[in-house]
Structure 1
Amino acid sequence: MVDVTKTCLVHIAVLISFFRFGHPGSDLFLLVPLGYLTVSVVFFFGIMLTDQLRRSRPVPVSAPAGRGVLQTLVALPADYGILCIAFLLAGWRPGFVVIYCVLFAAHGLVLLAGIAKWYRDLRRLDRAAAS
């Protein structure tokens, strides 16, 4: 509960900051923190739900194999610590905006890849349970 609360609040703080202290372009740019918030929350609960669905299967689920270096690097944009590091640029608004937007886009791509993987994993479990 604390993890998802901090995830929500950090993007709400960015939204308030953009509204209060200015943002590039039109007011539509204020949708970026809201989009990032949505992607972050869906990713968080996707992980939680997939884990619970795996545990609920009557088929024994082996422990997940260790993550490879490539998978770890690909998932970095979804890491909360990387977002925190990006806040080191908060005092330099143009740099922060660019990094924040890049992380948002990359996190969105990680979410899409995660959804596809979770779907394949759960389908495989369904087939194993049916046989």
Structure 2
Amino acid sequence: MTFRAALARLRDAQKTARGVSLYSRYVNRPAGRVCAAAAHRAGLTPNGVTAASALLSLAGVAAVALLPPSWPLAAGVWAALAGGFALDAADGQLARLCGTGSPAGEWLDHAVDCAKITALHTAVLIAFHRHFALPDDGWLLVPPVFQLAHIMIFFGGLLADKLTPRPAAPPPHAPPPSRLRALALLPADYGTLCALFLLLGDEGLFRAAYAVLAGVYVVFCAAFSVRWFRALSAAGAAGSASAASAARR
């Protein structure tokens, strides 16, 4: 299959854009399509693309922890993290293109995502301690709080999706995904966090922006958690009512 043919097939086999932010919809998924088509031409497997994503992201994370802030570092870290994110979108697309999706591959993908999130905020904590002239030690609390909120959003959303009952058939006239909602989700997109590291050349600017985004994640975490709990509670109640009705027949 040619690169163009693979790209065309991938374009027609995209997952729904519902619940996806503008960055993932218009930047990361298209970039992932290109990476997936190129990986297919190169003979790579989806797990191989996942491994490449992990290595590229790890390079960016290690640079944050080991090197002092500078503008060249900022550009390099952003490129590594954003590139790893694009490859993260590519592995699933490549699996769908090749028909080789598997529970093991999905587990590997999510395990790498969790490791990447945990390591990135740990690297910022190390950078704060080693390389930043902090005005107060209280700043060392920001990365762990950000890390907790980020992991809760990732794990909570993943688990809610797995536990939500799937309809037997999709609605015949489902409304198109809301662009306003996609815009509102932009602060919680991993691509936004990647872009934040473009500010790493200025300690004060990066520290302030990182703290603001940490606060945003805390708010999102609380709001999402309430929403997911209520939705799953309603789904459980509906399932129990349906089972009781069937038993009475």
Report the TM range for the smaller structure's normalisation.
Answer: 0.7 to 0.9
What's the counterpart of residue 149 of structure 2?
39
Give the gaps of 5 or more residues in structure 2: 1-110, 242-249
Q: What does residue range 84-95 of structure 1 map to in structure 2 within 5 Å?
A: 84-95=194-205
Residue 25 (structure 1) aligned with residue 138 (structure 2): no
Task: Look up the match of 2:22.
Answer: none
Contact 2:197–2:206 under 8 Å retained in 1:
yes
Counterpart amino acid of 1:38?
L
Report the more deviating stretch, 36-45 or 119-128. Answer: 119-128
Unaligned 5+ residue runs, structure 1?
none
What is the Cα deviation at residue 98 of structure 1?
1.1
Are the aligned partners of 1:87 and 1:96 in contact in 2 as well (CA < 8 Å)? Answer: yes
Larger Rg belongs to: 2
Match in the other structure for 2:30: none
What is the CA-CA distance between 1:63 and the residue it aligns to?
Answer: 5.6
Aligned to 1:105: 215
Distance 1:7 1:63 in 2: 32
**Structure 2 counterpart of 1:97, one-letter code:** R
Q: Distance in 2 between matches of 1:113 and 1:62?
A: 29
Correspondence 1:73-84 to 2 at 5 A:
73-84=183-194
Tell me how far 1:70 sits from its aligned partner. 2.5
Residues 68-108 of structure 1: CA deviation (Å, up to 9, x unaligned) = 22222222222111011010000111111111011111111
1:2-45 CA deviation, whole Å, 9 max, x = no partner? 11111111111110100001243321210100111111111111
Aligned residue type for 1:28: G
Equivalent position of 1:71 in the other structure = 181
For the aligned residue pairs, the C-alpha RMSD in angstroms reads: 2.0
Do the aligned partners of 1:11 and 1:36 also contact (CA within 8 Å) in 2? yes
In the aligned structure 2, how far is the partner of 1:10 from the partner of 1:63?
37
Match of 1:9? 119
Which residue type is aligned with residue 127 of structure 1? Answer: A
Q: How many residues align?
A: 128
CA contact (8 A) 1:23 1:29 kept: no
Q: Aligned in 2, Cα 1:122/1:129: closer, same or farther, shift over 3 Å? A: same
Superposition TM-score, scaled by structure 1 size: 0.87
Structure 2 counterpart of 1:35, one-letter code:
V
- % identical aligned pairs: 37
Distance 1:62 1:90 in 2: 47
Amino acid at match of 1:99: A
